[in-house]
Amino acid sequence: MAFIPILIIIVVVVAVVFVSYLYVTNGNGSNQSKFKKNEDIKSALKDAEKRLAKNPHNTDALAFMGDYQFQQGDWKNALKTYETLTRLPLFSQEIDEVQLNLHAAICAANLNMLDEAYKYIVVAHSMKPSNYEVSYNFGNIEFLRKNYEKAVMYLQQSYSINSEYVPTMRMLGHAYFKLKRFKEAMLYIRKSMELAPNDKESLFTLAECYFEAGYKEKSERIYSHLRPDPVWGAEACLRSGLINVDYHQDEKAIADLEIGLKHSNIKPDIAIELHYQLGSAYLRMQKISDAIQHLQIVQQSIQGYKETDNLVAKYKEMNASKNIQTYIMAPASEFMALCRKIVLSYFPKAKVKITKTQLTSNDWADIVAEVDTLKWSDIVMFRFVRTQGAIGELVLRDFQSYLKDIKAGKGICMGVGAFSDEAKRFTEARLIDLIEKDRFVPILKALDSAKQAAATNAPSSPSLMPV
């Protein structure tokens, strides 16, 4: 009977130690189970706060608070707590210094404090290099620091210890991708996705691996699958669109790019490139109005982006006239038909008979016509140059030679570009008229006006053709 009080005291002490263990233990994986099992976490927090109020350096209470903050994802406060702990002598055998430094490194990495993260992970790794979680996090931190070779080294170390740990497989795939070692990247990403199939970032990276390795069809299938994704969808649409551009499938590319722009919260650089590629695709489809709309958005966002300024300047005026579009971009048959209309209406009140037409490599068209006016009659040769750039002397030398061969009395060379100084000097003493952009565009617009007037049965505007 004399031993009963002593036995009661021992039982009470053991119970207290056990309860304390439930909320101060800091071993591998213990925090998560500890907090799940603790039915009265508020009480435990209050107890820890009371002990810290009495002694701010109570290591057991600090360890508990740090682990609780860590589990809640409160990286900033958890890191502060761990920093305090690492500066104190740790008398408690229940505090795992490896886990302490590992958690501090993870907190710092999540706060993008990579130098701090590196400092703590080095300590954890030096204490326990055989821990796969430590090696994994070391590799992850080196990845974030863009040291991809070192990242692979530590991740391989983690993989050799535990080949079933999905985060290690995943990061190995991403690290190998950064090193442009696409076969290794595909191997580990596919392994990780067998166990975590909903990892959209890895799926997107796998598509990029396929693309870089030359498997464009596989890549495009993944990008198409990702198009609805709220996070990766816009960029996937862009990538899919670019592949279809490579395949000269502009209609499919436009569909991809338009879906991309329907996403919300698009990264600014992705949005700009979507508009630029969409504008370029519409140009190839000769949908000038739609193209200008997207290219102007790019121009207003970033001055000098790729060829946007030149494209807007080049096609904005074209957008105002269907005939300008036809002259520059239409197939050869439509281009030649337009040139014939210009010839037939060039001399007002004249009788014009076209006797010969010829197209040279889609660069220019030659039309020979017999022209009768009240004042004169002659053979006139027209040359229509399609380029929007400079028209040089060689084009006119060839033209002059052709004029002599057919014994034409007059030559007229016109286009939407500008004639070079050498070209102008060449024609000074010759019967060749040069009609460049500033005079030729009104001619094309006059045809537009005449067509619109005819469609509405309204009188057309006065002719802009010179006599």
Digit-coded pLDDT (tens) for 60-90: 889 889 999 999 999 999 999 999 998 888 6
pLDDT of residue 315: 84
Which pair of tokens denotes residue 350? 């004249």
Cβ pair 298, 305 in contact under 8 A: yes
Could you give the domains of the chain? 26-319 (1.25.40.10), 324-456 (3.40.1350.10)
pTM for this predicted structure: 0.71
Dist. CA 3–CA 11, nearest whole Å: 12
The mean of the pLDDT values for the chain is: 87
pLDDT in tens, 284-317: 998 988 999 999 999 999 989 999 998 998 888 7
What per-residue confidence (pLDDT) applies to 452? 56
Residue 355 to residue 350: CA distance in whole angstroms: 15
**What average pLDDT does range 277-289 have in this prediction?**
93
CB 124 within 8 A of CB 134: yes
Q: Please tell me the distance from the alpha carbon of residue 209 to that of residue 25, in angstroms, as a whole number.
A: 44
- Per-residue pLDDT at 420: 94
List the structure tokens of 293: 């709309």
Residue 28 has what pLDDT? 36
Distance set, CA 449 to CA 148, 445, 452, 462 (Å): 64, 6, 5, 10
> What sign results for the dihedral spanned by CA atoms 311, 312, 317, 320?
positive
Q: What is the pLDDT of residue 436?
A: 93
pLDDT score at 456 = 52
Residue 379, pLDDT > 90, answer yes
Q: Which residue has the tokens 């309204």?
A: 458
- With a pLDDT cut of 90, the percent of the chain lying above it is 67
Q: What is the pLDDT of residue 10?
A: 39
